[in-house]
């Protein structure tokens, strides 16, 4: 006999993985667009900053700065989009649960008791 709780975990896990994949894709697009913009429009400022030595005396090539910016943008956008989508999905599920069956029986009982019914 199958356990009912075992089927719920993979479905929730697959939803989270699906959200993470879409969030990572959104982060990739945003990071690529920002890196392309910085590499073309802001090229002079990037080259000027690359010519100045850092605190350790080494010069960082512009490609390193672009790669570092790409990676940071990708991670930040992925996390922000993932959290936003998870919050929106949670609110939708909660709202659908309220419309479908109202409050759970335990909460209905407490509310009725509080009203004196």
Output the CA angle 67-83-91, nearest 5 degrees. 160
If one counts every other C-beta atom within 10 angstroms of the C-beta of residue 96, the result is: 10
Over the stretch 57-74, which tens digit does the pLDDT of each residue have? 777 788 888 899 999 999
Over the stretch 93-114, which tens digit does the pLDDT of each residue have? 887 777 766 555 555 555 555 6
pLDDT, mean of residues 40-56: 80
Q: Are 26 and 19 in contact (CB under 8 A)?
A: no
């Amino acid at each position: 006999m199958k356990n009912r709780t075992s089927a719920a975990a993979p479905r929730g896990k697959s939803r989270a993985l699906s959200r993470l994949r879409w969030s990572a894709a959104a982060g990739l697009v945003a990071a690529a667009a920002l890196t392309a913009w910085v590499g073309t429009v802001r090229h002079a400022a990037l080259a000027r900053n690359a010519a100045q030595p850092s605190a350790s005396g080494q010069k960082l090539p512009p490609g390193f700065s672009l790669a570092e910016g790409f990676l940071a943008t990708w991670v930040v956008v992925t996390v922000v989009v993932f959290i936003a989508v998870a919050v929106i999905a949670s609110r939708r599920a909660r709202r659908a649960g309220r419309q479908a069956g109202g409050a759970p029986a335990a909460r209905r009982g407490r509310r009725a008791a509080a009203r004196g019914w």
